[in-house]
Amino acid sequence: MSVPIYEPLNTLKEVSPDIWIADGNIIKMDMLGFGLPFSTRMTVVKLKDQSLWIHSPIDPDEHLFQEIDALGEVKHLVSPNKIHYAYIAEWKEQYPDATAWSSPGVEKRAESQNIETTFDRPLKDDAPSHWSDEIDQLIFKGSRALEEVVFFHKQSRTLILTDLIENFEPKRTSNIFLRNLYKLAGIAYPDGKTPIDLRMTFAGQKDQARECYKRMLSWQPEKIILAHGHWYDKNGTEELKRAFRWLDK
């Protein structure tokens, strides 16, 4: 299947001073009972101590490692939710002194899939002192299936999400099945949202999600980085309101 990817791959692209993204190749993920191809994206932040914070690392690549090393020392490898962890072990092998941070449920999931991944510390609702002055965070609650840790880079006013918003571009694929599925799942650009299968897991517990959403909204993001699909380099707060209107239903 063809799926939109965001070339060039495996290279750093500046979002704002001290924050970059790197787009990766295609992976297969389960959605609505199908094994679907997804584009991938990670985020890199240079902290004030010149160390690097890496969110949802993509498939390791030697060229990308060289660019990373030119930026600074990797100190933090972050799994933002339990389905975004697959490459943490390989990045930890490359950067053994980095701290691998676990998201809710990720260690249990890795064990169930027989994937050897060792985490050092858990992520919590409050940002640890290592980055709290520069990056805020919260655990987005309410789902019975998936709790995602979301982050806000204060200097650039950038919200960093993983699967809470997906925003695939139908016009960038010739595959009719994928085009229709994006629309059915509610993840088609320009109206990408939380995938419908994930939205359904909030049934009866939307009050928790609304409180988390309100806190994200209070950050007033200017940009929103997504792991899958077209990300937002402007109008972040308005896009956040649009994407989470499902919480009002």
**Domains of the chain: residue spans and CATH:** 12-248 (3.60.15.10)
The string of pLDDT tens digits covering residues 38-76 is 899 999 999 999 999 999 999 999 999 999 999 999 999
pLDDT exceeds cutoff 60 at 1: no
pLDDT exceeds cutoff 80 at 30: no
The identity of residue 210, as a single letter, is: R
Closest to 203 in 3D by CA, of 163, 247, 137: 247
Query: Peptide bond before 8: cis, by omega within 30 degrees of 0?
Result: yes
- For the record, the structure tokens of 43 come out as 């985020």
The neighbouring-strand residues paired with 35 are 30
Cα-based torsion angle of the residue sequence 77, 82, 86, 92 in order, rounded to the nearest 10 degrees: 30
pLDDT exceeds cutoff 80 at 4: no
- Report the C-alpha gap between 146 and 228 in whole angstroms: 16
- Report the C-alpha gap between 23 and 7 in whole angstroms: 7
pLDDT exceeds cutoff 60 at 32: no
- Whether residue 88 contacts residue 57, with contact meaning beta carbons closer than 8 Å, is answered with yes
Instruction: Compute the mean pLDDT over every residue in the chain, rounded to the nearest whole number.
Output: 94
- Report the C-alpha gap between 83 and 163 in whole angstroms: 9
pLDDT top residue among 164 and 249: 164
How would residue 174 be classed by pLDDT, with cut points 50, 70 and 90?
confident
pLDDT exceeds cutoff 90 at 189: yes
